[in-house]
Structure 1
Amino acid sequence: MKKLTKWKETLRALLLYPLIRKKTKHIDADILFFFPQYQTGGAERVHLNIMKSVSDRKLTCFITNHSVNSDLREDFSQQAKLINLHRWGWKTSFRKKMTKKLAAEINKIDKPVLFGSNSEFFYDLFPYLKADCVKIDLLHTDLSSFPLSIENYAAPVTHMLTRRVVLGEGHKEKLKEFYLKKDVPLTEIDKICVIPNGISIPDDAPDVKDYSGKMRVLFVGRNSHEKRPEIFVEIAQEASRLKLPFAFQMIGDFDSFSHSKPDNLEIIGKITDVQQLNAYYEKAHFIFITSLFEGFPMVLSEGMAHGVIPVAVDVGEISRDVNEEGRTGFIIPNFSDVDEIVNGFINKMREIDESRATLPNIAANGYKLVEAKFSIDRFRERYRDLLIRQENANNQD
């Protein structure tokens, strides 16, 4: 965040402090959520769906970090009383004061349930919370190798968690190594449960697509470092140079690439309407994932639900479900060298071009996988069971 923006946000937070404190002194909720943003993003949509799983309860949601846009603010506010902490949630000196004050208010609630994800503020509360407070977190992906990751930040208070949620067994296994390294008792592994992300799935399998002509490739996401959109642009450039029969589209805030993109790449822009996004999925043949790290991205399962075949770097939980052995998609080794990653995609595209007859079956298998594992109904049932069970268990103590 630029210095001028920080200064403005600090001034705004100071002016809003009386209102924020007034809101935090009147918390009437069964479950309290702590999420960093309400901007456009897969993680934010997951957070929204978690709140929807317990929409019949009294909910309060604290936004603890800066949102680059307000695209999902209204959706969040429809599910819970929304309290934006502004810089009181992320500026270190401000956060220390606010966590103590907010913890004192939370401690007035009878056996509260707190759920957080990607929020340092959430973990800062732990030392000040009373013993009967249920604390559950969600880790979207394994970032334990990064010193400034949320796992490393939370390590000193991990033993205070009641439960921890991850997206797959691979992440759970990696946490065992991380706990050993950080001297977190291995008994804490027993607190981890696996809940894959869920999406709305069409009732009927998608129609078989026409693979005879130029095939359409999607990139869907935000313009951020970890998504590595520049690699997708390089893939399109190399495919154009080699005259490969693929057309490329980017959906998201990628205007910065408009002057360097090749002719075979179309920048669609940001889409917030679900039906409009689904229309692009229905016309696409492939979706590419070039991320530096992921859990299991929602755009992957969304695409597969509409007959889109994934081609993804081997990060996170992806290759456990998307792979050539299971005939559900294609995996590219996550090389340390970007040129090798680009070449990996290009070589795979050549293979795909020469084996088009196999593609309808791969697309059909992708739909079956999503239907069996990533349904929104199953997702909400599992989160509701987790949150309500912990609440009920706490009330019986």
Structure 2
Amino acid sequence: MLKKIKKIAENIRDLLKYPTIHKELSKKRDLYFFFPSWSFGGAERVHVDIMNIFSDPKPLCFITDRSISNGFKKEFEAAADTINLGRWSEKKQFKRHLFKKLAEAINSQEHPIVSGWCSKFMYDLIPLLAPHVKVIDIIHNFMDDDKGIEWYSIPHIPRLDKRILVGKGLVQQFQKLYEINHIPNEYLNRLTVIQNKIAFDNHFPVKNYDGILQILFIARNSPEKRPDVLIRIAEICHQLNLPVEFKIIGDFKPEETAIPPNAVLIGEVHDKTTLNNYYKDGHLLLLTSHRESWGLVVFEGMNMGVVPISTNVGELSNYISIEKENGILVENLSNAEDLAMLFVEKLEFFIKNRPLLSKFSNNAFNTIKQLSNECDFDAAYRRELSVEIK
């Protein structure tokens, strides 16, 4: 009964959004974004960076799925005219009506562009879009099985004018995906790679490498991030009495997250200055994910001289290695206990080699300096999401 009442209340609340939706759709604009969430995460940070490039007029952004938190809500609303669809993207009657209104509004524009990431809602809208509407999707990573968004998008591949990928590894994954599904090779020419934006402050903070080392873990509380592995690492370090302290930043609830005495739950941090202060004090950052796209948090930490120890996932091997002396990648094991021990071994390595940790820290900082100089994020997105008037 309570569940039914809640649904009715949500329907009424979201019906009241319709005047706002109608108002925003009536405006003349070129860019329409469809993103599933404004929660805390690297992908959401990238989406804010993309939308911030375009401001006159602002893009119209639809949040199409349920957000776990309001992590980047303010940033989304500052970067674009943003509408959280709620039941408009879930209830069949609402969705059917909204698809019609969206298509009418977008098709009526002279040079419209539709873009988004991981939104089934966007793909379902595509068949209703007129031929002159440019459609570009953004892919950060592949999901775990054949139910991922890259599989859902397969019927719409001929209609996609461009696919923007964050790394070259994804190009190889799409080559395999297209081959398996008998997609003509000509569509591979529509793949383009744009490296994520890297904030480089050109300020290397003074760090004390004596005493207790500060270990950062910055992630949302979701299975692919494997926070259980991080907590197990902290437990082993406590048992071994290693001189380390763990700072856990993300949407972790104290009442639901048991941690050892050498760890502190910070919670979500959205203020850039506050987050940078943790990076400035940090020595090492652990990323225990079983899959990642780019691992933006790793590069944010390196920008402040924080040395990453990470599973070998996503595009990280193109930038980080023990040979480059700017971080360490460990085998992406599925056994949590074995994986935790790998991380502990690397922590012990740096605990015993403080001068080498300092060297890695400097090299991590210089890696970001070089990548920042090479990055053309803004120019590349302006080029790909620009209106081509012939």
**Which amino acid is 2:40 matched to?**
T
- Normalising by structure 2, report the TM-score: 0.93
SS in 1 for 2:385: helix
Q: Which moved more, 1:306-315 or 1:339-348?
A: 339-348
Q: Does 1:75 align with 2:80?
A: no
Match for residue 235 of structure 2? Answer: 237
Taking the aligned partners of 1:5 and 1:242, their CA distance within structure 2 comes to 52
| Contact map agreement 2:34 2:117 (CA 8 A) in 1 | yes
Counting matched residue pairs gives: 389
Q: Which moved more, 1:182-191 or 1:111-120?
A: 182-191
Q: Does 1:190 align with 2:178?
A: no
Taking the aligned partners of 1:376 and 1:114, their CA distance within structure 2 comes to 28
- Deviations, residues 38-91 of structure 1 (Å, cap 9, x unaligned): 222221111111011122344211121122333433322222222222222245
Taking the aligned partners of 1:354 and 1:203, their CA distance within structure 2 comes to 29
Correspondences of 1:1-397 after superposition (within 5 Å):
7=7, 10-12=10-12, 15-16=15-16, 18-19=18-19, 22-23=22-23, 25-91=25-91, 94-143=94-143, 145-207=144-206, 209-256=207-254, 260-374=258-372, 378-388=376-386, 391-392=387-388, 395-396=389-390
Taking the aligned partners of 1:184 and 1:218, their CA distance within structure 2 comes to 43
Give the drift of 1:352. Answer: 2.1
**Which amino acid is 2:316 matched to?**
I
- Normalising by structure 1, report the TM-score: 0.91
- TM-aligned CA distance change 1:269 to 1:319, over 3 Å: same
Taking the aligned partners of 2:316 and 2:339, their CA distance within structure 1 comes to 16
- Deviations, residues 157-207 of structure 1 (Å, cap 9, x unaligned): 022111111111111111111111122222222111111211321123333
Give the drift of 1:97. Answer: 4.2
- TM-aligned CA distance change 1:348 to 1:385, over 3 Å: same
| Contact map agreement 1:31 1:59 (CA 8 A) in 2 | yes
- Deviations, residues 319-357 of structure 1 (Å, cap 9, x unaligned): 221111222201111112111111111122222223222
- TM-aligned CA distance change 1:157 to 1:5, over 3 Å: farther
| Contact map agreement 1:198 1:376 (CA 8 A) in 2 | no
| Contact map agreement 1:218 1:284 (CA 8 A) in 2 | yes
| Contact map agreement 2:309 2:327 (CA 8 A) in 1 | yes
- TM-aligned CA distance change 1:256 to 1:204, over 3 Å: closer
| Contact map agreement 1:138 1:166 (CA 8 A) in 2 | yes
| Contact map agreement 1:324 1:330 (CA 8 A) in 2 | yes
- TM-aligned CA distance change 1:111 to 1:176, over 3 Å: same
Taking the aligned partners of 2:12 and 2:100, their CA distance within structure 1 comes to 21
Q: Which moved more, 1:76-85 or 1:262-271?
A: 76-85
Give the drift of 1:96. Answer: 4.3
- TM-aligned CA distance change 1:121 to 1:20, over 3 Å: farther
**Which amino acid is 1:187 matched to?**
E
**Which amino acid is 2:356 matched to?**
T
Taking the aligned partners of 2:6 and 2:158, their CA distance within structure 1 comes to 34
- Deviations, residues 242-278 of structure 1 (Å, cap 9, x unaligned): 1122111101222246662111011111111100110
Give the drift of 1:231. Answer: 1.1
Give the % identical residues: 33
Q: Which runs of 5 or more structure 2 residues have no equivalent in the other structure?
A: none
Taking the aligned partners of 1:80 and 1:223, their CA distance within structure 2 comes to 27
- TM-aligned CA distance change 1:195 to 1:90, over 3 Å: farther
**Which amino acid is 1:278 matched to?**
N
**Which amino acid is 2:115 matched to?**
F
| Contact map agreement 2:59 2:80 (CA 8 A) in 1 | yes
- TM-aligned CA distance change 1:354 to 1:17, over 3 Å: closer
Taking the aligned partners of 1:96 and 1:367, their CA distance within structure 2 comes to 50
Give the drift of 1:9. Answer: 6.7
Give the drift of 1:104. Answer: 2.2
- TM-aligned CA distance change 1:61 to 1:14, over 3 Å: closer
Taking the aligned partners of 1:210 and 1:68, their CA distance within structure 2 comes to 37
**RMSD of aligned alpha carbons:** 2.3
Taking the aligned partners of 1:122 and 1:195, their CA distance within structure 2 comes to 21
Taking the aligned partners of 1:299 and 1:111, their CA distance within structure 2 comes to 35
Give the drift of 1:138. Answer: 0.8
Give the drift of 1:302. Answer: 0.8
- Deviations, residues 107-137 of structure 1 (Å, cap 9, x unaligned): 1111211111111111111111111111111
- TM-aligned CA distance change 1:57 to 1:384, over 3 Å: farther
Taking the aligned partners of 1:9 and 1:233, their CA distance within structure 2 comes to 39
Taking the aligned partners of 1:150 and 1:96, their CA distance within structure 2 comes to 21
- Deviations, residues 270-302 of structure 1 (Å, cap 9, x unaligned): 111100110000001000001121111221111
Taking the aligned partners of 2:242 and 2:255, their CA distance within structure 1 comes to 21
**Which amino acid is 2:22 matched to?**
K
